[in-house]
Amino acid sequence: MKPKAAIKIVVDVFMTLALLLLMGYQFWGDAAHEWIGGGMLVLFIAHHILNAGWYKTLFKGKYTPMRVFQFCVDTLVLIAMLAQMYSGITMSRHVFAFLPFDGGMAPARRLHILGAYWGFVLMSLHLGMHWSMFIGLAKKHLKNPSRVISVSTALAGVLIAAYGIFVFVRRDLLTYLLLQTEFVFMDFSESKLLFYLDYLAMMGLFIFLAHSCSKILRKFGAKHKKEMPFTGRQCILDKTE
């Protein structure tokens, strides 16, 4: 693996860990939440610097169904993260308290709820779109895994996704995604382990959905390409697919 690719994976892993820690605000308190959020901001900037090529290819090549899906998710992730960062800095009482932000706390709180929960969903979808890469790395490491391992892994994915649906409903995440309340219910006595297992299951749900959709869209794109008449021109393929 090339050094840049390895760095990208490390940054993405730390972003995922930071995201999970930020969702468990009640366990860590204001100061830790803000410092983790500050770290998330640094990782977010690093992620975009490492993936600057994405911006250069926006107006190049053909937009296949998969590329359209990827573009929509990535753009919405960017919007959600910017909303979360801006609102977090506005409400900051520790890390960014020196900045001259005064007032607007109520709108910032609403924006932060939307940015946090939509960011969680969209970043999970973003991971799912690139899940084939992680599967490829695992297969390469295992060197031709047996059919039993492949089937067991697929079954585990389905079970995690099913539990993720249950948790999504039980924790009433739709209420926060639709901003039907301006206050997030937090159980300060809840087990950290159970909380993070639930959120990992919900993340697994959206990874599963995005990965499944990606496979369907890639197959659809490949089929459509085969059915297209030859025009004598070489199509520019999207390297992100």
pTM of the shown model: 0.84
Q: What is the mean pLDDT of the chain?
A: 85
Task: Outline where DSSP puts E strands in 3-85.
Answer: none
CB 160 within 8 A of CB 205: yes
- At residue 59, what is the residue type? F
b/e sequence 98-122, b meaning 16+ C-beta within 10 Å = eeeeeeeeeebbebbbbbbbbbbbb
Q: What number of other Cβ atoms are within 10 A of residue 168's Cβ? A: 18
| Cα atoms in the 13 Å half-sphere on the side-chain side of 81 | 25
DSSP state of 41: H
Which residues have a Cβ under 8 Å from the Cβ of 182 and sit 6 or more positions away? Answer: 106, 109, 110, 113
Q: Report the alpha-carbon distance of residue 5 to residue 158 in Å, rounded.
A: 29
What pLDDT does 232 receive? Answer: 44
Radius of gyration of the chain, Cα coordinates, nearest whole angstrom? 20
pLDDT, position 124 = 94
Measured CA to CA, the distance from residue 186 to residue 201 in angstroms comes to 18
What pLDDT is attached to residue 37? 92
Low-confidence ranges of the chain (pLDDT < 70): 1, 102-103, 143-145, 221-241
Write the burial class of residue 16 (CB in 10 Å: 0-12 exposed, 13-18 middle, 19+ buried).
Answer: middle
What distance separates the 2 farthest-apart alpha carbons in the chain? 66
Q: What pLDDT does residue 159 have?
A: 95
- The pLDDT value recorded for residue 233 is 40
DSSP alpha helix (H) spans, 130-181: 131-142, 147-170, 173-177
